[in-house]
Amino acid sequence: MGRYVIRRLLQMIPVFFGTTLLIFLMVNVMGDPIAGLCGDRQCDPATAAQLRSEFGLDKPVWQQYLTYMGNVFTGDFGTAFNGQPVTELMATAFPITIRLTIIAIAFEVVIGISLGVVTGLRRGRPIDTTVLILTLVVISIPTFVTGLLLQLLLGVEWGIIKPSVSPEAPVNELLIPGLVLASVSLAYVTRLTRTSIAENARADYVRTAVAKGLPRRRVVVRHLLRNSLIPVVTFIGTDVGALMGGAIVTERIFNIHGVGYQLYQGILRQNSQTVVGFVTVLVLVFLAANLIVDLLYAVLDPRIRYA
Amino acid sequence: MRGATRARWAACAVAVALAATACGGGDDSGGGGADGIVSSSWGDPQNPLEPANTNEVQGGKVLDMVFRGLKRYDPKTGAATDMLAEKIATTDSQNFTITVKDGWTFSNGEKITAKSFVDAWNYGAALKNNQKNAYFFQYIDGYDKVHPASGKAGTDTLAGLKIVNEMTFTAKLSQKFSLWPDTLGYPAFAPLPKQFFTDHAGWLSKPVGNGPYTIDKYAKGSSMNLRKWDKYPGDDKAQNGGIDLKVYTDNNTAYTDLTAGNLDLVDDVPASQLKNVKADLGGRYINTPAGIIQTIAFPFYEKAWNTPDGAKVRQGLSMAINREQITNQIFQKTRTPASDWTSPVLGADGGFKKGLCGKECTYDKAAAKKLIQDGGGIPGGQLKISYNADTGSHKEWVDAVCNSINNVMGNNKACVGGPVGTFADFRSQVSQQKLSGAWRAGWQMDYPLIQNFLQPVYYTNAPSNDGKWSDKKFDDLVDQANAETDKAKAVSTFQDAERILVQQMPVIPLWYQNGSAGYSDRVSNVALNSFSVPVYEEIKVK
């Protein structure tokens, strides 16, 4: 397994450089960011030139990329246009988004898998049909609609939650945004689990376990569920990265100052340092999540070995 | 027991992930409530919060609360009145002697003297400090030495500023400029305490000023808590205990928070909510003119647009735009059709003259078509209006303007919109003269003076004259107006210059923008000043 991990880690290197280079080029083709710093008027040329050289924007793109990557390895992600180091922005934004992501994943795991098990075991019954219809509804409604609707109902009409999350973003305020963020994935997890459970319920080893006279609970949890979780774990694992990067909509609706907000601001202000920095970290998160998922397979199914 | 160890391993990984995020909380500080604190929406300032480096409204809001300069613009009339200035004297409109009032201090106790101003202005003007508002000091003698158009600066101090004694300094301008003292109310001219120069990073993380509020807590990018400064020596003391500014990622969320009773003041009601604002807020909605005018500009660096008959085409295009209908339907009356090149916030004495543009800015289908045809038609047969598509819902009104022009011309392709992805890209295309057609333009005043609406935008080679329009007669009149010692005479000479804009129509005035705000029933006495910033210190909490 050690060799497998090392090979995977080595594979990450070209992916890492490739993605950062792509992002760097994309941000750079959008034009001159300094021109947008002075509002509807022209920046005075001397100040603009000096800012450009301070941010290294007067150098060729390849040179900017090399300098940038060199700095990244010393932990320096550059400075945002408002004078804050990007690492400082990350230090405030990432904990919040990670918290939100964990809440969303928790919802997916707890609600999604339980619903999936229940419906998978009771295929064709009314509860199965109801959940199937419900998940279909959730999947077909865009997140921003669910978000705005819940915000309006729970926040404004009934006053159960505050419509916006405070800057510190404590866990209790993130519950509803987390649910909104999780909603679509949650529906997928339910459906994936249901199908997987329903399929494996007819497998030989389940019949054997039942025939041995094992208690039903043990059959379902130890034998049936454990084997049915592999596709679900894959989905949830890749979802970690998607949730963190895709939180832009949810974060905007509920005023959460996380990664999505910083990325949005960075793109709007064409602040390449912020955008590239945050995306770089997101890429790392995505790669790490994928690695962990692959390693978890062995936990779920001992037959899977890594060489 | 292989399975068990593996399970423990996985559990550890999850535990580490959780610990890293340190399931934080922190006490609940939102909502305002106690001690007469007003909570208000805010946006993340784009630049570091330094007086000479802040050129947008969000940072300007804070500067307005924590700083007072030599002059202050009256929140109601916009007139420049003395604040820290005891006296600003001149005999020739070029050499000014400025006396600072005694008895003012910064909130850290440091006395404000002539040096506090001279040091701050030198800092703001010096090229090495990258201050985006450095051009505010351009009229002071020696600016070209500390801030050359290219190359290195020879010196860091403005030759035109001299300290006479503790409370007095003199300013020599490089040209006559009678209205110059009235520009000193802009935050860029604020005094700065010693700490700003000795501990710059420390000051930036918690700015210290001399205004009615002090900064209690500043979490960059998310919130700022300002508290009333009890020892504030000015007359405009805060009427409330403090202001909590809260950064919103989306002004729709801020508006939702206001309707849920979670926020006291929103100073930018989103366009999509304008339909509901009456029902939601009743009388607690403000819609007053701000010092912003929106226009359509043309490229005079392009031969096709710089023709002797071109003025007729531009006048015709101006007459082809149904301003009344567009401001009513698209902007829900939050814009006022423009009939001159200034803004109503100047007032009649300040130089605003309703209807100065006359019939050239009035919708008239027949006359418009005739003028355009007399002038040789639209260059290239098609008018393309470029705009940035990322913010400000420019697409809607550009399409409406084009629709109006197309109707007049009886041609579906006479006018089209030209979207540009980001604001930065749009601005760089405009400033590098890359656009060959028209583009959306706008001017937000720096200070409520008619000079500010004309000189920086239409004077030959002025910094914001993006279309490179040039007219000798206009330039002469502006110079003449600046040299005038009598203020009323200066204003009327500026208006004479403005009449040349009617004949030449270098840009088409569209409408004046209003500031809009909504507030909760907890607070009263809410108003917007002419920069469309709430007058925070006057807000009363019930």
Total Cβ atoms within 10 A of residue A267: 18
Separation of alpha carbons B125 and B152, rounded Å: 13
Is the pLDDT reported for residue B9 higher than 50? no
Q: What is the pTM of this model?
A: 0.83
Identify whether the C-beta of residue A36 lies closer than 8 Å to the C-beta of residue A271: no
CB contact under 8 A, B262 and A163: yes
User: B3: nearest CA in chain A?
Assistant: A299
Alpha helix segments (H runs only) across chain A: 2-29, 45-54, 61-72, 86-107, 113-121, 126-140, 143-150, 171-200, 204-211, 216-218, 226-245, 248-253, 259-268, 272-300
Total Cβ atoms within 10 A of residue A118: 17
Separation of alpha carbons B102 and B233, rounded Å: 10
Separation of alpha carbons B498 and A59, rounded Å: 43
The pLDDT-based confidence of B13 (bands split at 50, 70, 90) is: very low
Q: Which among B36, B190, B176, B17 is positioned nearest to B100, based on CA atoms?
A: B190
Residues of B in contact with A168 (CB under 8 A): 24-26, 29
CB contact under 8 A, A82 and B260: no
ipTM of the complex: 0.82
Is the pLDDT reported for residue B267 higher than 50? yes
To which H or E segment does residue B501 belong?
A: helix B487-504
Separation of alpha carbons B211 and B537, rounded Å: 10
Q: Select from B42, B252, B426, B428 the residue whose CB has the most chain A CBs within 10 Å, as the one to mutate to test that interface.
A: B428
How many angstroms separate the CA of residue A123 from the nearest CA in chain B?
31
Instruction: Indicate the pairing of strand B285-297 with strand B523-524.
Output: unpaired
CB contact under 8 A, A270 and B424: yes
How many angstroms separate the CA of residue B159 from the nearest CA in chain A?
19
Helices and strands: H and E segment counts in chain B? 18, 19
Instruction: Give pLDDT tens digits for B387-416.
Output: 988 776 788 899 999 999 999 999 888 999
Q: Is the Cβ of A8 closer than 8 Å to some Cβ of chain B? A: no
3-state secondary structure of B470: coil
Per-residue pLDDT of chain A (307 residues; tens, 9 = 90+): 778 888 888 988 898 888 888 888 887 777 677 877 777 777 778 888 888 888 888 888 888 888 888 888 888 888 888 888 888 889 988 999 999 999 999 999 999 999 999 999 888 889 999 999 999 999 998 888 988 999 888 888 888 888 888 888 888 888 999 999 999 999 999 999 999 998 888 889 888 988 998 898 888 888 888 888 888 988 888 888 888 877 888 888 898 888 988 888 888 887 888 888 888 888 888 888 888 888 888 777 777 776 5
State CA B306 to chain mean position distance: 30
Say which DSSP state A269 is in.
T
Residues in chain B: 542
Q: Which of residues 85-144 of A touch B (CB under 8 A)?
A: 88-89, 92, 95, 98-99, 102
- For residue B130, report the phi and psi dihedrals to the nearest 5 degrees: 55, 35
CB contact under 8 A, A82 and B44: yes
Is the pLDDT reported for residue B535 higher than 90? yes
3-state secondary structure of B159: coil
Identify whether the C-beta of residue B193 lies closer than 8 Å to the C-beta of residue B200: no
CB contact under 8 A, A170 and B24: yes
For residue B132, give the nearest of A33, A47, A102 by CB distance: A47
pLDDT value, residue B28: 37
Separation of alpha carbons B40 and B246, rounded Å: 6
Residues of B in contact with A159 (CB under 8 A): 260
Q: Select from A26, A92, A168 the residue whose CB has the most chain B CBs within 10 Å, as the one to mutate to test that interface.
A: A168
CB contact under 8 A, A257 and B221: yes
The pLDDT-based confidence of B19 (bands split at 50, 70, 90) is: very low
CB contact under 8 A, B220 and A30: no
Q: Which among B285, B284, B242 is positioned nearest to B537, based on CA atoms?
A: B242
Residue with tokens 């040179």: A63
Is the pLDDT reported for residue B34 higher than 50? no
Residues of B in contact with A252 (CB under 8 A): 249-250, 253
Sign of CA dihedral A126, A132, A135, A137: negative
Sign of CA dihedral B325, B331, B337, B338: negative
Is the pLDDT reported for residue B493 higher than 60? yes
pLDDT value, residue A306: 66
Say which DSSP state B351 is in.
T
Separation of alpha carbons A270 and A107, rounded Å: 35
Annotate B220-272 with DSSP letters as a single string. Answer: TTTEEEEEE-TT--SSS--SSSEEEEEE-S-HHHHHHHHHTTS-SEESS--GG
CB contact under 8 A, A270 and B425: yes
* Cβ-based contacts under 8 A for chains A and B: 203
User: B387: nearest CA in chain A?
Assistant: A40
For residue B443, give the nearest of A32, A34, A40 by CB distance: A40
How many angstroms separate the CA of residue B367 from the nearest CA in chain A?
32
Separation of alpha carbons B517 and A41, rounded Å: 25
Q: Select from A27, A30, A47 the residue whose CB has the most chain B CBs within 10 Å, as the one to mutate to test that interface.
A: A47
Q: Which among B426, B489, B502 is positioned nearest to B458, based on CA atoms?
A: B502
pLDDT value, residue B1: 38
Q: Select from A28, A29, A44, A293 the residue whose CB has the most chain B CBs within 10 Å, as the one to mutate to test that interface.
A: A44
Mean pLDDT of B532-539: 92
Residues of A in contact with B134 (CB under 8 A): 44, 47
Integer CA distances (angstroms), B86 to A56, B139, B392, in order = 45, 22, 42
